[in-house]
Amino acid sequence: MLNGLWLSFFLVATLAAVMRWIGGDPGVWAAMVESLFAMAKLSVEVMVLLFGTLTLWLGLLRIAEKAGLIDLLARLLGPLFARLMPEVPRGHPALGLISMNFAANGLGLDNAATPIGLKAMKALQALNPLPHTASNAQILFLVLNSSSLTLLPVSIFMYRVQQGAADPTLVFLPILLATSASTLAGLLAVALMQRLRLWDPVVLAYLLPSALLLGAFMALLASLSATALAQLSSLLGNLSLFGLILLFLLVGWWRKVAVYESFIEGAQEGFNVARDLLPYLVAMLCAVGVLRASGALDFGLQGIRWLVEGAGWDTRFIEALPTALIKPFSGSGARAMLIETMQTFGVDSFPALLAATVQGSTETTFYVLAVYFGAVGIQRVRHAVGCALFADLAGILAAITVCYWFFG
């Protein structure tokens, strides 16, 4: 599927560019060529960041692995994953890594989540009977990763502070509700495709208490002031991150693990993983860059506006759709669109609030596909793209609904 998807980006971009050329904009071809080289350069810049991040975290994870922490987490969650990922043996290290990845994503610790997720994907690849085709477990993990629940969207608060918002955390509950809908939609889509039994008593025994705890945490956060919530977000994120590192080191020392040698061993693996990712990143980012530069997304936005106006619906949400349309392709592009929307309409305007909610409740799906599947050489992704995009669509629709509910 990636072959057809990648080619379609260039074909759609070419069609859009031809339409702009006929309409009197010959500069579109120069913009597309410039975008190709800019995205190739960006791929290398992203790789520089990934080299350091992957080297650090895969080194720490090797200590945790030798200390038995990952095996312990895998045993605790074994009954749940036995239902959701039946092809993964109980107690397999991949299960512990998957759990740690979800926890890091929930706390907004992106720098920690990506290396842990790549380690989990490589562990799942070791069980994959078809090395170039995504397994059911890999697809479920990737879809849940790309639609993972975010409890503390600190970066969104930061953008709103920069733009002078009176209450930077005003979008906290809308983001939480929208990202919950995205995660649920992703799980249901994969469950339907893979015929998973979500109503199994064991699955419910894990999910229902988790939902209750999440609801209690949401209630606590909703009772805090903007200042207190921002302080809690920063404190919880930093304490969680450093506490995790300290836990790995202390348990490793207690279990008589040679922590320095283990770190170097894992760090070398991180360097190799980052190096192997570059071709996949260049391929996907260049295709996305050409699609954006061609104006294809603008044509899509104009078509949506025409349909909405024809139906007689409120059109305010359309001003936030550029963020929604770009987010699956480019995180930096979506951030730029979010800030532009805030500056154009005002940081507390309806389009800006909706754009912030969309930014916090969706994921850069194609980047995740390129990085996670590229790290293990997966070329046939089966239903992963469809399920991940369905989760993104659910997140966008939920964000629109919730924002009309909260902000009118």
Q: How much is the pLDDT for 342? A: 83
Where residue 224 falls (left for φ over 0; alpha for ψ -120 to 50; beta otherwise) is beta
**Domain locations in the chain?**
2-407
Cα 54 from chain centroid?
17
Cα separation, 366 vs 388, whole angstroms: 9
Q: What confidence category does residue 108 fall into, taking pLDDT thresholds of 50, 70 and 90?
A: low
Cα separation, 143 vs 1, whole angstroms: 16
Which tens digit of pLDDT belongs to each residue from 200-238? 888 888 878 877 887 787 677 667 665 666 566 556 656
Which tens digit of pLDDT belongs to each residue from 289-345? 788 788 887 787 778 888 888 888 887 888 888 888 878 876 666 776 787 788 778
Q: How much is the pLDDT for 110? A: 60
Both tokens assigned to 406:
């909260």
Q: How much is the pLDDT for 73? A: 73
The answer to whether 330 and 42 have CB atoms below 8 angstroms apart is: no
